[in-house]
Structure 1
Amino acid sequence: MQIVEVTGYAVRSAVITVRRRGTPLEFVIFPMLHVASPAFYSQVRLRLRECDLVVVEGIRGKSARVSALTLAYRFAPRRRRNGLQEQREELLLPGDATVIRPDVTAAEAIEDLRTLPRATYLLLLVAAPVMGLVFALRGPRAFLDEDLAVEDLPSTPRAEMLADDPVGRALTVRRDRRLLDALGEIHAARGAEPIRVAVVYGAGHVPAIVSGLWNRLGYRPYEAEWLTVLVPE
C-alpha cells in the first residue's frame, strides 16, 4: 500500500483509516511531511476537527543537537518564493483538540543517535543544515524525489536497504514503540466507544504504525484518502 506518492508533478499523502471488526473506535493515520504547501496543512486541520482525540509527534524538551538535525526542513520555507510552510502545531491543530503527545524526550532521542558510530553521528549534525540550504535553493522540486515515496511493505531492493538503515532505526525504533504503546492504551480504555483517533506522525513512521496496529490489535486498513502535499510550479 502506497503511503506517500511522488510523481513528476506532485507529492501526495494517503490519510489511512484503520478499523477492527466488532470495535467502534477507529484510528485515522495522517502521514505528514514536515515541509509542505499551506493548503496541505489546512486540509489536515479540517479533518482533525472531525476527530475526538489527536495523537501527535513531537520530541519533548529542548536540545541544541536535535535543533541542528531539524535544520534540514526548517530552512526550506524561509524563501517565500518557494510557497512552502514548516509544519507547526498552532497552524495544524484545532484550538479545541484533545491532544496526546507520547513521543520521546530530546535526551532519549540523542541517546538513541549516540548508538551510531561516532563518525555517522557527527556527519548527521553537519549534513542537516547543508541539506536545508539545498532544499531552500531548489524549492519544491527538491521534494520530487522517488526516495521520498513511502510504502508500508518494502518490496524493492532500495526500500529494503532503507529499512535496514541504522540511522533510520536510531531515529524511529524507540519512538514507534512508544507510540504503539500509547495507541494500545487508548484502545484498551476507549475501544468500546465510537470515536475517531487521529495519529499525526511523520510519513516515515507510518509503516510501523500500520503494521503495529494490525499485528498488536487487529486494526486493518479500511479506506484511504489522498491529500496533495505540494505541486511545484
Structure 2
Amino acid sequence: MQIVEVTGYAVRSAVYTMRRKDTPLQFVLFPMLHVASPTFYAQVRRRLRTCDLIVMEGIKGRSAGVGTLTLAYRFAPRRRRNGLVEQHDADLLPAGVPVLYPDVTAAEAMADLRALPRMTYATLMVAAPVMGLVFAIRGPRAFLDEDLAVEDLPSTHEAEALADHEVLHAMTDRRDRRLLEALGAIHAERRDEPIRVAVVYGAGHVPAIVTGLVEGFGYQPRDAEWLTVLVPR
C-alpha cells in the first residue's frame, strides 16, 4: 500500500479511510509533508472540514535541539521562486472542528535523540540545517531526487534497512506509541458513533499508524485518494 509516491514529475500523498465491519467510526489518514505547495494544504483543509475530530501532530513546547532539526524544512520556503510553503496549523485547520494533540513534549523528543550514540547525535544535528539549505537552493527538484516513497509494509531491502535504523526509531517510536494510545482511546469511547476522525501526521508515521489500527483494533484501508504535494517548476 503506497503512502507517498515520488515520480519524475510530482510527489503525491495518499489519503486513506480506514473502517471496521461492525462499527461506524472511521479513521481518515492524511500523510503530510511539512513543506509542500499551498494547493496541497488547501486540499487537506477542505477535506478536514468534513471530519468530526482531528488528531494532529505537534511536539509540545520548544527546545533549541528541536528547532535545529526543523531547519531541514524551514529553509526550503525561504526562496519564493520555489513555490513551496511550510506547514502551519493556523492555515491548515478549519474552524469549528475539535483538535487533539497527543504528541510528545520537546524534552521527551530530545531525550530520545540524546540516547543515541554521541557521534550519531552530533551528525544528525549538523545534517539537518545542511539539508535545509540544499532544499532551499534546489527547490522542488530536491524532493523529486530524494527517495521519499513510503510504504506501510516495506518490501525492499532499502526500506527494511531504514525501518531498523536507530535514528528513525529514536525520532518516531515514542511518538507513535503516544499516538496509537490516543487512537485506541477514541476507538474505545466512540466506536459506535458515525464520525470521521482525521489523523494528520507526517508521512513517516503512517506505516505505524496503519499497522496499529489493523492489528490492534481491526480497521482496514477501504478508500484512497491521491493528493498532489508538489510539482517541479
Q: How high is the TM-score relative to the length of structure 1?
A: 0.99
1:79 aligns with 2:84: no
Distance 2:104 2:231 in 1: 33
Aligned-pair distance for 1:8? 0.1
AA matched with 1:94: P
State the partner residue of 1:67: 67
Which runs of no fewer than 5 residues in structure 2 stay unpaired?
none
Distance 1:18 1:115 in 2: 35
State the partner residue of 1:232: 232
TM alignment of 1:159-174, pairs within 5 A: 159-174=159-174
Distance 1:153 1:129 in 2: 30
Identity %: 75
State the partner residue of 1:186: 186
Can you list the C-alpha shifts for 1:164-183, whole angstroms capped at 9, x where unaligned?
Answer: 01000000000000000000
AA matched with 2:17: T
The SS at the match of 1:147 is coil
1:128 aligns with 2:144: no
Distance 2:207 2:38 in 1: 25
AA matched with 2:137: L
State the partner residue of 1:222: 222
Distance 2:177 2:137 in 1: 36
Which runs of no fewer than 5 residues in structure 1 stay unpaired?
none
The SS at the match of 2:5 is strand
Can you list the C-alpha shifts for 1:126-155, whole angstroms capped at 9, x where unaligned?
Answer: 111111000000000100035100001100
State the partner residue of 1:156: 156
State the partner residue of 2:139: 139
AA matched with 1:30: F
State the partner residue of 1:28: 28
Q: How high is the TM-score relative to the length of structure 2?
A: 0.99
State the partner residue of 1:105: 105
The SS at the match of 1:148 is coil
State the partner residue of 1:117: 117
Contact 1:7 1:146 in 2 (8 A): no
Contact 1:36 1:84 in 2 (8 A): yes
AA matched with 1:179: L
The SS at the match of 2:147 is helix
Distance 1:105 1:47 in 2: 28
AA matched with 1:142: A
State the partner residue of 1:211: 211
Distance 1:221 1:173 in 2: 22
Distance 2:146 2:131 in 1: 17
Distance 1:203 1:135 in 2: 18
Distance 1:19 1:4 in 2: 21
The SS at the match of 2:153 is coil
How many residues are treated as equivalent by the alignment?
A: 233
